[in-house]
Amino acid sequence: MADSGAPSASNQPAAASSGSDTLIGRLINERFKVVALIARGGMGKVYRAEQAPLGRVCALKVLNPNYAGDSDPEFHKRFFLEASIASKLTHPNTVTIFDYGRTDDDVFYMAMEYLEGRTLHRAIKEESPFAEERAAHIARQICRALREAHSLGVIHRDLKPANVYLVEHADEQDFVKVLDFGLVKNVDGSATEELTQAGLFMGSPKYMSPEQIRGDKVDARTDIYSLGIVLYEMITGKVPFDRANSVNILMAHVNEAPPPLKEMNPNSDATPQIESVIMRCLAKDPKDRFESMDEVLGALKRTGSGALTGTMMGATGEFSAVQGSGLFGTSGSSASLSGSGPQSALSGNLQSGPVAVGQEIVAPKKSGKGLMVGVVAALAVLAGGAFVLTRGSGEPAAAPAASSAKAADAPPKPSETAPVVSASAKPPAPPHKVTIKAESEPSGATVRLRDRDGEELCKDTPCEITFMGADATPGAEVKLYFTKRGHSSETKTIKIGADDKVTAKLAAQGGGAAPRPAGPGPESPGFKPVPY
């Protein structure tokens, strides 16, 4: 429903033309007072409203009563399908749906959070091409929003820059909000009824996947294709396929390879790494794309500011240097955070055991793709040339051969010899850990980091959150964001070393969960939500 406008203050000039709009000043279902018109489109209007009794400003999407008519008798069902599915999504990068329903005089509405910002479409139009770092940052947030949707069996199917909002969030300028799930598809297997009229074409041609165009089965990889188009457009300022009419655009998606980024825009900031990610997203066959948004996110973390790539040759062969960021993992009801600063790592085929690099011991960590070994004094290694990696067997790797017989016979100078550290040396002590118990009233809330793109720490309070490394520095402040469907959200600031427990009180919101619609909707008898 992008045509109905986005819930933003940036479109407020439309309010001047509201004139005799009968909804201005009206109280919708005794909860939402309509204040002003902020956007309009063929499908409906978006108003600024105040929610009673909370006094909260929100955006109210209202359907145009004359839109559906005889042309699309299932439109109201799709509206309720969008509202019911979108209201289950709680990720900070997804627009929050507060309420939805139908009035006695057939006003269909959906209340959502009020956003102040602009669409990605407008940002691209005004500022493209984007730097790779900025494009990757925006795309990673889109990945996280859709990752949650996909985990609930929901495919967006209409991902495009007009459905991505950029808002200011604390000190972050490009905080993403994904909205407009008007073409969502629930793929949980429960659907049995088609919700589109025969011959009714739905979608945005410039961003549609080949399988969507052909009418084949769609899944999460359909959104991955659309994300690839969005990334391509951010980097080059243009979509890969733009033809004279929609039919030619659709045929190009099915049959033509996307042009290289530099060919589309020689001035674009595109490295081989980001181009590789984009082209894999844009593979014609879904089997050749990334399998999930998690995989796309992992690839994007190694581009832009998320990675430093290079090649280092050592005694054991070739290594790729990768810079990552502090991550946390969850297990059961607890979460663990490690240092948040950038770290360098070498990926090598080494046996288990401590590894000596330069003058320090680094204990390797196992992962699904091999051992990750911390890089210490990497610049010294590159400059000095000689270094020793001790293996788990205790046998040092062979040092580089001397450049001449004279050099081999001459006694080495202390500054020219990298010290050999015994494999039996003790590794560093484990990082300091601090555990905080998180609770909420009522229980069952989700806890996320307010920073770091709202990463989830635990799904169901009460739970324990463990901070490690730099995140466990005494006195450090961490902001935790508590959310629970049907309740207000709350941010709690804790101080490491001073707080061992944090409790958030979440008030029920104006009647609690979304009300039972008075008309045909997902809660009505006999209604069956269906992929369309």
Q: In what order do the strands lie in the sheet containing 370-374?
A: 310-314, 317-324, 343-348, 370-374, 365-367
> Which among 72, 96, 211, 234 has a CA at the least distance from the CA of 155?
211
CA distance 205 to 290: 22
Residues recognised as catalytic: 158
Classify residue 501 by its DSSP letter. E
> Helix, strand, or coil here: 395?
coil
For residue 197, how far is the Cα from the chain centroid?
33
DSSP H stretches of helix in 31-175: 75-86, 120-127, 132-151
- Could you tell me where the beta strands, DSSP code E, fall in 233-369? 310-314, 317-324, 328-331, 334-337, 343-348, 355-357, 360-362, 365-367
Rounded to an integer, what distance in angstroms lies between the CA atom of residue 144 and that of residue 403?
52
Which amino acid type is present at position 182? G
Sign of CA dihedral 337, 341, 342, 343: negative
Spatial contact of 5 and 39, defined as CB atoms under 8 Å apart: yes
How far is 79 from 125, CA to CA, in rounded Å? 29
Distance of CA 285 to the CA centre of its chain: 23
Beta strands in 179-331, from DSSP E residues, in sequence order: 185-186, 310-314, 317-324, 328-331
Alpha-carbon distance values, 411 to 134, 417, 435 (Å): 53, 10, 53
Between CA 190 and CA 206 the distance in angstroms is 30
Would you call 451 helix, strand, or coil by DSSP?
A: coil
Cα(482)–Cα(47) distance, integer angstroms: 28
d(CA 332, CA 464): 10
**Angle CA 304–310–311, to nearest 5:** 160
**Encoding tokens for residue 277?**
């990610």
